[in-house]
């Protein structure tokens, strides 16, 4: 029997060892969302050397050989923008459904013809339209919340099927397969509707398509909400589940196989006797759930190529798989010509619409899902937490240069016509911007540009001004101070500075501003400047700065000022400039988070500095691009970045 002393010592050793081996909790990591496109891809239709891609902004036609694209619009006869479904018909016709109606596009001729709006009772066909499928007679079937309808160049006709349609598939023999909330219904060539419930546990059908053996395959959920696959063989369905389990969101037929996108994995179903030699199975298979065929007729292969995680549409050709995503366009992945051979990295079809013509980055949010974004480019955007919608103020040609949120949460936009030297201000009221017609900011000539727009603690709005000269080169013009209480504007720059005029001697080439107690700090192309009262002091390379060409400034409550440049980040402690070794990096932009940390945009990603050490986020972490040109922090603490490839939103843990 062990003595009490032995037990006590043993217990202490056991506790100590247990304490040593207990793993530390995982370090909280931020979430990152990357966007190159405003909205999700809703439909893909590849044909020959071209592919048509639909989204909420319209139909884009891409030429695969050249990589060129153009948007089909009113000039081609396409009405509406939000694309709901597309289908390719023999003879080079693309049928499409948008929020403007249903039409067909002659691919060779380059023109579209919209069908006349459906009369009553067929007018309901466009309500909640979700799917279209080809009819062998030359028309199409249209399905949505109002049921099933038929359309062709001669007009519209309702069908007797009134249940909500969630998916459609037209088989080669002319049968129409209909996905519903309650399962799958078959409409045969004779027009008889049959609910195919034997062997099927499907509800909320997501999609139906042609399987590798030509038989229809449907995907949906069971009564508990788990994804299920049902194959129609020998006159009835057999239901299977993926093992390991995964949520199936997209399917598509590929030559000799069937594509399944499930929980971020790209799988292919092959007939058991036709599966390629050397197929990568990785343990994925189909397990029987219901129906006659207990042994699955399909072998599941796992693609060598990593797929995007947010796939919203899939289509295939004999050479490639096209994966449309929610935020970053469409990936083109080569089909494996030789199993085991690296197919190479995917190529991307994306216009990078969010950053076309962008010069800067301004973000103003009223709520987490209600933000306004301006980049000085062709379009400003409204962000609802999931996607971006174009924002127009007044004339559709107007350019929104900046948006800003004041201390009370009011959002303002600063905009102008394409070549205007006058800058106008609009206020966001009940979801729409209302111009403040009696308040204008102007520059000497050319088109006005803004380098910054920030509210000071006293409620005055400071604007960094530049303008384009006759050659299109930017010319700095100091700052404008806007007093919204009296709709007053004053201009301050080196040229007209004097006590008599009241113009402050602020450097013309200021690019950023920060406020610290009774001091105003400027980053400029000629050094770091501090305005205290009417006294301006400028530090240059002769005054401890490693570079006087500065890219941004941040001031902290503790009285420390940081200046970003291509020679690192300088830190001013009230007397001297120093350069922390951790910040000896080329910085394009700088912002301060709500927790006091610094966020730095660099050519190698987004860097965060906590006063002692740095951490880095890049494309591998989820950013749109490694090169970060601008950084901004919204009032919720989210960090927004602009890159040549798109925008990223980082939410700290």
Q: What is the pLDDT of residues 382-399, one digit of tens each?
A: 999 999 999 999 888 999
The confidence score (pLDDT) of residue 164 equals 96
Weakest-pLDDT range from 256-265, 301-310, 469-478, 510-519: 301-310
Distance between CA atoms of 535 and 205, rounded to whole angstroms? 71
Long-range contacts formed by 243-246: CB under 8 A, 24+ apart: 243/284, 243/285, 243/286, 243/287, 244/283, 244/284
Mean pLDDT of the chain: 91
Mean pLDDT along residues 366-373? 96
The confidence score (pLDDT) of residue 29 equals 86
Among 408, 551, 423, 401, residue whose Cα is nearest residue 482: 423
Is the per-residue pLDDT at 182 higher than 90? yes
The confidence score (pLDDT) of residue 153 equals 86
Render 171-183 in DSSP notation, one character per residue. Answer: -TTS-EEEEETTE
pLDDT above 70: percentage of residues in the chain:
94
Mean pLDDT along residues 433-450? 88
**Band (495; pLDDT cuts 50, 70, 90):** confident
- Sequence-ordered list of residues with C-beta below 8 angstroms from that of 168, at least 6 positions apart, any chain: 131, 132, 133, 141, 143, 176, 177, 178, 179, 208
Check: CB of residue 192 under 8 Å from CB of residue 180: no
Q: Which helix (H) or strand (E) holds 9?
A: helix 4-21
- Sequence-ordered list of residues with C-beta below 8 angstroms from that of 365, at least 6 positions apart, any chain: 371, 372, 405, 411, 634, 635, 636
Weakest-pLDDT range from 126-140, 360-374, 582-596: 126-140
The confidence score (pLDDT) of residue 345 equals 77
Alpha-carbon dihedral 466, 467, 473, 478, rounded to 10 degrees: -30
Is the per-residue pLDDT at 561 higher than 90? yes
**Band (500; pLDDT cuts 50, 70, 90):** low
Is the per-residue pLDDT at 616 higher than 50? yes
Is the per-residue pLDDT at 421 higher than 80? yes
Q: What is the pLDDT of residues 276-300, one digit of tens each?
A: 877 777 889 999 999 999 999 999 9
Distance between CA atoms of 565 and 549, rounded to whole angstroms? 6
- Sequence-ordered list of residues with C-beta below 8 angstroms from that of 208, at least 6 positions apart, any chain: 167, 168, 169, 177, 179, 184, 216, 217, 218, 219
Terminal CA-CA length for the chain: 53
Q: What is the pLDDT of residues 47-90, one digit of tens each?
A: 989 999 999 999 999 999 999 999 999 999 999 999 999 999 98
Mean pLDDT along residues 252-263? 93
Weakest-pLDDT range from 18-22, 60-64, 409-413, 424-428: 18-22
Check: CB of residue 580 under 8 Å from CB of residue 591: no
The confidence score (pLDDT) of residue 1 equals 40
Mean pLDDT along residues 318-347? 81
**Band (582; pLDDT cuts 50, 70, 90):** very high
Angle, CA 546 vertex, CA 541 and CA 551 arms, to 5°: 100
All structural domains of the chain, each given as residue ranges with its CATH number in brackets, are: 50-114 (no CATH), 353-651 (2.130.10.10)
Is the per-residue pLDDT at 14 higher than 80? no
Mean pLDDT along residues 501-516? 92
- DSSP 3-state of 275: coil
* φ, ψ of residue 507 in degrees (nearest 5): -55, 140
Render 378-421 in DSSP notation, one character per residue. Answer: S-EEEE-SS-EEEE--SSTT-EEEEEEE-TTS-EEEEEE-TT-S
Distance between CA atoms of 584 and 600, rounded to whole angstroms? 12
Among 637, 480, 619, residue whose Cα is nearest residue 34: 619
For residue 592, cis peptide bond before it (omega within 30 degrees of 0): no
Is the per-residue pLDDT at 188 higher than 70? yes
**Band (344; pLDDT cuts 50, 70, 90):** low
pLDDT above 90: percentage of residues in the chain:
77
Check: CB of residue 402 under 8 Å from CB of residue 376: yes
Distance between CA atoms of 563 and 513, rounded to whole angstroms? 10
Mean pLDDT along residues 529-542? 94
The confidence score (pLDDT) of residue 4 equals 41
The confidence score (pLDDT) of residue 320 equals 92
Residue scoring higher pLDDT (270 or 1): 270
Tokens describing residue 535: 């006294």
Mean pLDDT along residues 454-472? 93
Mean pLDDT along residues 264-274? 92
Mean pLDDT along residues 458-474? 92
Taking the alpha carbons of 214, 216, 222, 226 in that order, is the dihedral positive or negative?
Answer: positive
Is the per-residue pLDDT at 501 higher than 80? no
The confidence score (pLDDT) of residue 529 equals 97
Mean pLDDT along residues 636-650? 97
Angle, CA 46 vertex, CA 44 and CA 52 arms, to 5°: 55
Check: CB of residue 422 under 8 Å from CB of residue 446: no
Taking the alpha carbons of 170, 175, 180, 183 in that order, is the dihedral positive or negative?
Answer: negative
**Band (373; pLDDT cuts 50, 70, 90):** very high
Distance between CA atoms of 529 and 316, rounded to whole angstroms? 58
Tokens describing residue 596: 């006091």
Question: What's the longest Cα–Cα distance across the chain?
Answer: 99
**Band (9; pLDDT cuts 50, 70, 90):** very low
The strand pairing partners of 363, in sequence order, are: 373
Weakest-pLDDT range from 30-44, 142-156, 334-348, 464-478: 334-348
The confidence score (pLDDT) of residue 13 equals 36
Is the per-residue pLDDT at 5 higher than 80? no
């Amino acid at each position: 029997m062990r003595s009490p002393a032995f037990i006590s010592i043993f217990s202490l050793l056991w506790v100590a060892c247990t304490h040593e081996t207990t793993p530390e909790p995982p370090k909280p990591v931020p979430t990152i969302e990357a966007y190159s496109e405003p909205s999700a891809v809703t439909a893909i239709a590849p044909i020959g050397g071209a592919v048509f891609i639909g989204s909420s902004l319209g139909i884009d036609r891409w030429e695969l050989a050249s990589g060129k694209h153009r948007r089909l619009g009113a000039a081609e006869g396409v009405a509406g923008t939000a694309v709901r479904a597309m289908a390719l018909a023999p003879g080079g016709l693309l049928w499409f459904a948008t929020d403007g109606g249903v039409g067909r596009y002659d691919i060779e001729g380059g023109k579209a013809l919209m069908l006349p709006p459906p009369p009553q009772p067929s007018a309901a066909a466009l309500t909640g339209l979700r799917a279209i499928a080809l009819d062998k007679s030359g028309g199409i079937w249209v399905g949505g919340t109002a049921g099933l309808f038929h359309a062709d160049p001669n007009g519209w006709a309702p069908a007797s099927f009134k249940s909500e349609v969630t998916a459609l598939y037209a088989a080669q023999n002319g049968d129409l397969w209909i996905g519903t909330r309650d399962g799958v219904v078959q409409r045969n060539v004779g027009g008889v509707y049959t609910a195919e419930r034997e062997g099927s546990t499907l509800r909320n059908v997501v999609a139906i398509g042609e399987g590798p053996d030509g038989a229809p395959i449907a995907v949906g959920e069971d009564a508990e909400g788990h994804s299920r696959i049902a194959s129609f063989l020998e006159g009835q369905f057999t239901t299977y589940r993926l093992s390991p389990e995964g949520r199936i969101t997209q399917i598509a037929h590929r030559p000799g196989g069937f594509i399944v996108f499930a929980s971020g994995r790209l799988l292919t179903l092959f007939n058991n006797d036709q599966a390629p030699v050397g197929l990568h199975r990785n343990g994925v298979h189909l397990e029987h759930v219901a129906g006659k065929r207990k042994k699955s007729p399909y072998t599941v292969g796992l693609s060598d190529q990593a797929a995007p995680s947010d796939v919203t549409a899939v289509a295939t050709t004999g050479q490639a798989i096209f994966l449309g995503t929610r935020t970053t366009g469409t990936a083109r992945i080569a089909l494996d010509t030789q199993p085991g051979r690296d197919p190479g990295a995917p190529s991307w079809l994306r216009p990078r619409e969010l950053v076309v013509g962008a010069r800067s980055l301004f973000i103003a949010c009223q709520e987490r899902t209600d933000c306004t974004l301006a980049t000085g480019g062709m379009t400003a955007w409204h962000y609802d937490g999931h996607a971006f919608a174009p924002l127009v103020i007044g004339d559709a040609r107007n350019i929104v240069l900046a948006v800003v949120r004041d201390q009370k949460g009011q959002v303002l936009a600063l905009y102008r016509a394409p070549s205007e030297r006058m800058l106008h201000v609009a206020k966001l009221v009940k979801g729409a911007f209302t111009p403040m017609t009696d308040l204008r900011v102007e520059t000497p000539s050319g088109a006005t540009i803004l380098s910054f727009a920030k509210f000071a603690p006293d409620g005055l709005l400071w604007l960094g001004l530049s303008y384009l000269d006759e050659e299109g080169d930017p010319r700095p013009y100091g700052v404008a101070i806007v007093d919204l209480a009296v709709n007053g504007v004053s201009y301050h720059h080196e040229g007209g500075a004097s006590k008599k005029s009241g113009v402050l001697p602020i450097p013309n080439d200021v690019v950023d501003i920060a406020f610290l107690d009774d001091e105003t700090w400027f980053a400029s192309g000629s050094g770091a400047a501090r305005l205290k009262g009417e006294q301006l002091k400028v530090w240059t390379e002769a005054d401890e700065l490693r570079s006087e060409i500065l890219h941004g400034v941040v001031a902290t409550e503790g009285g420390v000022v940081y200046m970003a440049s291509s020679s690192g980040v300088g830190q001013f402690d009230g007397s001297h400039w120093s350069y922390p070794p951790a910040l000896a990096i080329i910085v394009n932009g700088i912002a301060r988070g709500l927790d006091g940390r610094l966020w730095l945009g660099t050519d190698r990603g987004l860097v965060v500095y906590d006063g002692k050490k740095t951490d880095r986020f890049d494309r591998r972490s989820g950013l749109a691009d490694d090169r970060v040109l601008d950084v901004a922090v919204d009032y919720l603490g989210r960090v927004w970045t602009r890159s040549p490839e798109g925008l990223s939103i980082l939410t700290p843990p």
